[in-house]
Structure 1
Amino acid sequence: MIRDLHEWPKTEAEAVAIQERLRPLVRVEDPPQVRTAAGLDVAYRDEDEIVAAVTVLDVTTLSVVDSAVVRGKAEFPYVPGLFAFREAPSLLAALAELSVRPDVLVCDGQGLAHPRRFGLACHLGVLTDLPAIGVGKTAMGRYEPPAEQRGSWSPLHQDDEVVGRALRTQPGVKPVFVSVGHRYTLDAACDLTLRLAPKYRLPESTRTADHLGRMQP
């Protein structure tokens, strides 16, 4: 399930080089039919101890059909733009424990909305070759607030390039920030996000993974 495309780096320079090398492998394309979506989230127990949680949801019913939790140690320091190198190893280990292979990964983070256009959703998508999208709580770029109605959106810009969208999932609440990770289009990523967020700001995939991680002792 996981492609062996690189060793985990020890230095910032090595990590940046990996992102630059893998970025051309990202594909923006119409996704296959999506029946199940995996939410991925990481909870920190202290500065370096992390709990990686993955829940797989039936997209029609939003019920959890599979889940996995892995405790790990963040071996890479926190460096802006290199977030994936702290969290991806444990998230990949959790994905490997699933009995249901999800049709799409919904990451609590960024995809192409990243300084090198290779955020966590891109990294996990390329390593697993699964369709992936990023649904972040914080903007990585400039945007105008979208209209207040559910489903309204505005483009998210970095360096005069559209890298994602600010999407209003519920009326009168802050938008989320959607970007392509791998094997998805931006239109389809926003459609999926709205399907997964019928009641709350964040998609149920993220909410259930976050809840699972926080439940762990």
Structure 2
Amino acid sequence: MAQWTLEEAVALQKELRHRVEVRPGPTSPRTVAGLDVAYAEGSDRVAAAVVVLDSTSLLPVRQATAAGLATFPYVPGLFAFRELPTLLEALGKLTVTPDVLVCDGQGLAHPERFGLACHVGLETGLPTIGVAKTLFVGTYDEPGDHRGDWSPLVDDGEVIGRVLRTRAGVKPVFVSVGHLYDLDTATELTLALTPKYRLPETTRAADQLSRLALRAS
């Protein structure tokens, strides 16, 4: 990815967001990949990991990593420009093509409606969703306390995602569409990927692998 100024990066997001397609995604994917990036404290060193899981057993079937130096500053809302080059390098090392990508971050739940999951989806042409740990933009009513309860995430009158309870009595996660997916199916997939913990198994696996790759780099 070329080096962008902050203004150019925002302008690109505004341009590319119109290419995002929201449509029914795979309801029974065979493989689902988690993507995550680890950062070295006090350094621009980063390591990206992609872990492909069998959607039935949730066991890893393939994985790949890449490490390098981030060339874009750490700016909220523009993480894709910092993380995407290394993520794409890791994705390029895979020997299988996952049916769905799950990013540890936002999709349409973004001020420009073009978060990391949207950027990854457009770059790869694969169905992609974002499952984030924290709220970035929008407002919501607290969902019910039971697993599967959710409430709409709304910004400027537009539904941009869902606030989903994956574990009873545990903080919810923030689900949004990245590309070639719809919110109903993204919600169902997120629940299928969280049988035991708050975060999807895809995210947990990619997080662990990216940290190991960073230490080894």
The verdict on a shared fold, with TM-score over 0.5 as the criterion, is yes
Helix, strand or coil: the match of 1:18? helix
TM-score relative to the length of structure 2: 0.95
- Is 1:109 equivalent to 2:105 in the alignment? yes
1:118 is paired with a residue of what secondary structure?
Answer: coil
Shift of 1:8: 2.3
Aligned to 1:4: none
2:34 is aligned, of 16, 35, 39, to 39
Q: Report the counterpart of residue 202 of structure 1 in structure 2.
A: 199
- Tell me the CA shift for residue 215 of structure 1: 2.1
1:22 aligns with 2:22: no
Matched AA of 1:86: R
Partner of 2:179: 182
SS of residue paired to 2:190: helix
Paired letter, 1:74? A
Identity of matched residues, %: 62
List 4+ stretches of structure 1 deviating above 6 A. none
Residue 18 of structure 2: SS of its match in structure 1? helix
TM-score for the superposition, normalised by structure 1: 0.95
The count of corresponding residues between Structure 1 and Structure 2 is: 211
How many Å separate the matches in 2 of 1:80 and 1:108? Answer: 14
Of residues 37-46 and 196-205 in structure 1, the stretch that sits farther from structure 2 once superposed is 37-46
Aligned partners of 1:129 and 1:25: how far apart in 2? 11
- The residue type equivalent to 1:40 in the other structure is L
Q: How does 1:148-167 map to 2 (within 5 A)?
A: 148-167=145-164
1:10 CA displacement: 2.4
1:86-113 Cα deviation digits (max 9, x unpaired): 0011001000000111011100000000
The answer (yes or no) to whether the contact 1:8–1:85 under 8 Å persists in 2 is no
1:10 matches 2:7? no
- Give deviations 1:132-161, integer Å, cap 9, x for gaps: 000000112211110010000001111121
Mapped partners of 1:9, 1:160: distance in 2? 34
Matches within 5 A, 1:48-67: 48-67=44-63
- How far the C-alpha of 1:80 sits from its partner, in A, is 1.8
Q: In structure 2, how many angstroms separate the alpha carbons of the residues matched to 1:164 and 1:76?
A: 27
Q: CA RMSD in A?
A: 1.0
Unaligned 5+ segments in structure 2 are none
The amino acid across from 1:13 in the alignment is E
Opposite residue 19 of structure 1, the aligned amino acid is Q
Q: Can you give the 5+ residue segments of structure 1 that lack an aligned partner in the other structure?
A: 1-6
1:169 to 166, 186, 190: 166
